[in-house]
């Protein structure tokens, strides 16, 4: 008899997802799917709007990392207003945007690790659900919780002083930025009262990384085998191969580390990347055209960025990167839980970059905007915390948007998350027709590693539960839970 059990509170995933797991007659997992069941339609309703509204309008996709959408749209419009791609802006224009982006990365990664994922590490996947949350973290390890909250606050302060607001700011405009950083703001962010200063953020980033490494050392088998699988990886890299989350060229590597896409100017992204629509999900499935749908799917995000780049241009993060690379003998890392490791290395990188950038006098320059000959098409690509983010706009002669195409970070990770769900379901549920809470959380841990933003990916309002259904070989519902 089918039954439906509702478990509250809602799960620690950004967005509304649903997992269906098919069980065969022998009680084994036959198939699984992560469905994204919401539709938002941003690409359609920005049509007809003046182009300069796009960076402010489209960022409303998300309240977690709106800066990424804000900057990706602004980068696309830089092309349209004739300011060129990436390096065409004035020094203050580019550096203020970079500072905004590092602040955004820092707070988003910290939110994910401390608020959403650290409960799994502190209490275990099968820990008491009543404790397995940020409040439980605060009770169990006050220092860790305080660090998480204050680090996120610091990132938000960076965003406030560069974008004008902590959420949904307006700092980046086509061709540049609308403000510089005053000396008072610089002093506040660089040398603010403890703990909200740049040096403390570097120190705490190292501590967070040490926390994960200790957990890894104590749970090596689980961390290394949980949803581990081979795949391609894609990201932006700087022209010299460095990790660069603001600007660069597209690079992809396969599971052996062979470069399968390199030095691609993202203005031509549509020559290399295509999206497949499947009838059971509102989230599309992107893939590399030249490899086809079956072999061309790829992962994005922190793990992929560290798999594609050659080095990290900040000293402490570079040392950690070397350890990370050595762990897999220089080969790409396909272990899903190592996303957390990569994410925390990026947190450290961002902290270092923020500290160094704040000392740059270019941030006080007044030449905020540059413009040139107007074009009718522009593509902006940026590394959002969750992975590579594509914004593509076309305008008419009256400056109104005629086309918008967004390939959001989480969309790029659609097939990878489905693969991770499938592997985890098989590992935890084979031969067990009843869903237990720890099994469900294991599936969530797999999804959570990718830090998905399902609202962004479907371009959701309301609550964000994860719904899980187990069906038998005849599609009869055996169990259904909403978490």
Q: Which helix (H) or strand (E) holds 273?
A: strand 273-276
Cβ(163)–Cβ(179) under 8 Å?
no
Sequential DSSP letters for 275-288 = EE--TT-SS-EEEE
What is the nearest approach in angstroms of other proteins to the Cβ of residue 176? 9
The contact pattern for other proteins, residues 344-383, with x = CB under 8 A and - = no contact, is -------------------------x--------------
User: Considering the complex, what minimum distance in angstroms separates the CB of residue 394 from other proteins?
Assistant: 15
Does 86 contact other proteins by CB under 8 A?
Answer: no
**Contact region for other proteins (CB under 8 A) — 107-115, 163-171, 228-236, 463-471?**
163-171
Helix (H) or strand (E) holding 215: helix 198-218
What DSSP line would sit under 317-370, residue for residue? HHHHHHHHHHHTTTSPP-BTTHHHHHHHHHHHHHHHHHHHHHT-GGGG-S--B-
Asked if 56 interacts with other proteins (CB under 8 A), we say yes
Helix axes 142-163, 183-191, angle to 10 degrees: 170
State the nearest-atom distance from the C-beta of 79 to other proteins, in Å: 15
Place of tokens 């020094």: 91
Phi and psi at 194, nearest 5°, equal -55, 135
How many residues make contact with other proteins (CB under 8 A)?
24
Determine, following the binding rule CB under 8 A, whether residue 168 of this chain makes contact with other proteins: yes
Minimal distance, residue 43 CB to other proteins, in Å: 15
Residue 398 lies near other proteins (rule: CB under 8 A): yes
Q: Which CB, 175 or 302, lies closer to other proteins?
A: 175
For other proteins, which stretch binds (CB under 8 A), given 44-52, 112-120, 126-134, 305-313? Answer: 44-52
| Binding residue for other proteins, selected from 141, 170, 365, 405, defined by CB under 8 A | 170
Nearest approach in angstroms of CB 155 to other proteins is 18
Q: Does 171 bind other proteins (CB under 8 A)?
A: yes
Bridge partners of residue 393, in order along the sequence: 378, 404
State how far the Cα of 229 lies from the Cα of 64, in Å rounded to an integer. Answer: 28
Using CB under 8 A, which of 133, 141, 178, 318 touches other proteins?
A: 178
Nearest CA among 406, 405, 471, 439 for reference residue 129? 439
Q: Is 52 a residue that touches other proteins (CB under 8 A)?
A: yes
CA-CA distances (angstroms) from residue 148 to 25, 142, 161, 208, 398? 46, 10, 20, 9, 47
Interacting span for other proteins (CB under 8 A) from 42-50, 235-243, 252-260, 270-278: 42-50
Does 53 participate in binding other proteins (rule CB under 8 A)?
A: yes
Q: How many residues are recorded in the chain? A: 483
The stretch among 82-90, 240-248, 321-329, 393-401 that binds other proteins (CB under 8 A) is: 393-401
Q: Which residues bind other proteins (CB under 8 A)?
A: 48-50, 52-53, 55-57, 60, 81, 164-165, 168-171, 173-174, 178-179, 369, 398-400
């Amino acid at each position: 008899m089918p039954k439906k059990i509702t478990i509250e509170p809602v799960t620690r995933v950004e967005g509304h997802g649903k997992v269906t797991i098919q069980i065969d007659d022998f009680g084994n997992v036959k198939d699984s799917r992560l469905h994204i069941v919401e539709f938002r339609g941003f690409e359609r309703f920005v049509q007809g709007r003046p182009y300069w509204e796009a960076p402010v309008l489209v960022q409303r996709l998300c309240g977690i990392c709106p800066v990424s959408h804000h900057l990706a749209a602004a980068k696309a419009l830089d092309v349209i207003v004739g300011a060129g791609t990436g390096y065409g802006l004035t020094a203050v224009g580019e550096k203020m945007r970079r500072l905004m982006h590092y602040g955004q990365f820092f707070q988003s990664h910290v939110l994910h690790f401390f608020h959403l994922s650290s409960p799994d590490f502190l209490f275990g996947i099968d820990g008491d659900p009543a404790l397995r949350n940020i409040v439980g973290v605060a009770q169990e390890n006050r220092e860790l919780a305080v660090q998480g909250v204050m680090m996120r606050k610091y990132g938000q302060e960076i965003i406030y002083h560069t974008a004008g607001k902590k959420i949904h700011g307006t700092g980046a405009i086509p061709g540049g930025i609308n403000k510089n950083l005053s000396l008072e703001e610089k002093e506040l962010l660089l040398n603010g009262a403890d703990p909200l200063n740049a040096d403390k953020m570097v120190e705490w980033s190292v501590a967070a990384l040490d926390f994960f490494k200790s957990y890894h050392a104590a749970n090596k088998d689980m961390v290394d085998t949980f949803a581990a699988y081979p795949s391609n990886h894609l990201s932006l890299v700087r022209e010299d191969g460095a990790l660069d989350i603001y600007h660069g060229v597209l690079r992809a590597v396969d599971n052996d580390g062979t470069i399968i896409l390199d030095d691609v100017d993202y203005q031509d992204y549509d020559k290399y990347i295509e999206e497949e629509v499947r009838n059971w999900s509102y989230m599309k499935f992107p893939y590399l055209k030249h490899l086809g749908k079956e072999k061309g799917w790829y992962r994005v995000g922190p793990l992929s960025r560290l798999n594609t780049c050659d080095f990290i241009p900040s000293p402490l993060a570079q040392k950690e990167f070397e350890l990370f690379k050595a762990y897999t003998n220089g080969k790409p890392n396909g272990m899903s839980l190592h996303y957390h490791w990569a994410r925390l290395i990026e947190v450290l990188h961002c902290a270092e970059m923020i500290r160094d950038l704040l000392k740059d006098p270019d941030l006080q320059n007044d030449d905020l905007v540059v413009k040139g000959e107007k074009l009718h098409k522009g593509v902006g690509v940026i590394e959002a915390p969750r992975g590579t983010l594509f914004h593509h706009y076309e305008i008419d002669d009256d400056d109104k948007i005629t086309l918008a195409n967004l390939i959001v970070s989480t969309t790029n990770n659609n097939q990878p998350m489905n693969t991770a769900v499938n592997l985890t379901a098989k590992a935890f549920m084979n031969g067990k027709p009843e869903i237990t809470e720890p099994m469900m959380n294991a599936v969530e841990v797999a999804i959570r590693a990718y830090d998905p933003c399902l609202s962004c990916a479907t371009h959701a309002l309301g609550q964000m539960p994860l719904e899980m259904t187990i069906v038998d070989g005849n599609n009869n519902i055996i169990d259904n839970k909403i978490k």
